[in-house]
Structure 1
């Protein structure tokens, strides 16, 4: 399967308002805390939450057993991109590339986060299109679900 043909998805229902969820996307401390999947730590290197605004995040593996798993270095991934769309309380669209010399991770991936009202809460769904072929689908979807659970914990505390 070549780059651009795969779409990975995940969703969750959160007992928080759309406003609370959306604000977790545009607050740098919040974003840095919930986005990294399990077994990773995030560090924002740049973050301008506005349409066209850039972001850059270093995701470091906490477990040395993952050595040689990183895209950028043996123990880390650096993702950079920009916000294509920020529709308050409803939609966040990001264009993301990974800093890597490995062509399997090349290309721009689009992450579309929908924030929709649900009875007494909010449904957050993410769809990743143009996923680089070097990212395993099962691992990626597991990571997306982990990030969504982190978002849920962040918003509900």
Structure 2
């Protein structure tokens, strides 16, 4: 069977960009069981409630929902189990230092296959306040209106 090439996104956490200021992003491997990989290849996962916790100098992914494989038998996995992340020691120490000192949290941003291997993109994030979210929405709306006005002007409608 030929090796997969490229990147195939399985799930992305759009809410993370809305709720947090994302600082640094890292790519981490995942330790999965066979039925989880098969379920991911079907394109089924949810990162909405996910977060990363560091325990004993190891990173663990909690709250990510990978549904049971439909054709799995008694060997099926539990949908919300914690999964180990594979990171370089330097990256892990840097992340751990920032989380402990500055009050950052770690959230999963996207889950994808890269050259046939399951990867998760995680980000160091600080929570946004409610007014930050409103400000971001207003800014996006103003940019959209500006683009529409420019488009109308170029078409000669104004």
Of Structure 1 and Structure 2, the greater helix share is in 2
Structure number with greater Rg is: 2
Regarding TM over 0.5, the answer is: no
The normalised TM-score by structure 1 is: 0.28
